[in-house]
Structure 1
Amino acid sequence: MKDKSGSDQTPLIERNPWLFIVVYGVLFWGVTTAVLYSALMSFLFDDSMWDIFSYSIIVFPIGGFAWGGAMLWWYKTNQKKKS
């Protein structure tokens, strides 16, 4: 769908679902959560941030992949209900 200026206004989740999962799930949710979790745990428990970050950067993006997939499923379910 194009607006008056000619730009495409179709949501990313409809144009490319895998890109949505990678960008919003893995990068935005997974990496951001890994950094925040590592900083918080190192502050609260006086552990090395890099030790915590080394496994957080693996585990949380996997969770972000699941989060992105859940958001994709939720979006598609709501689109079916609307039509």
Structure 2
Amino acid sequence: MSNLKATKIARLQKLIAKGKWHFVIVYGVLGWGISTALLVTLIQTYISSSSFIDQISTALVIYPVSGLAFGFVLWMMANNQYNKLVSGSNEL
């Protein structure tokens, strides 16, 4: 097994060991949802005449909830990649 492959397996094992909900909350809701909400709100506030507070209140509901779905998709992708690496498949 190559060193790069062993490193990827170890990294994925650490992520998977923390559990699905930890992964979904950290990478989906916090990592993608909150950061996207802030970025989109800043852009919308700059482009439109609406206030930051009005925009952020809506964005902090929509994007973190969408982040749940995004996190689950990332979780499935991480598990699939881990399973392929462990089984020795070269389809990466």
Tell me whether the two structures share a fold, i.e. TM-score over 0.5.
yes
- Structure 2 unaligned regions, length at least 5: 1-10, 88-92
TM-score normalised by length of structure 1: 0.80
| Higher RCO (CA < 8 A, seq sep 6+) | 2
What does residue range 16-55 of structure 1 map to in structure 2 within 5 Å?
16-55=19-58
Q: How many equivalent residue pairs? A: 75
- Pair 1:69 & 2:72 matched: yes
CA distance in 2, matches of 1:29, 1:23: 9
Q: TM-score, normalised by structure 2?
A: 0.73
Q: Aligned-pair RMSD on alpha carbons?
A: 1.5
Q: Percent identity?
A: 31
Unaligned runs of 5+ in 1: 1-8
Structure (1 or 2) with the greater helix fraction = 2
Contact 2:16 / 2:79 at 8 angstroms: preserved in 1? no
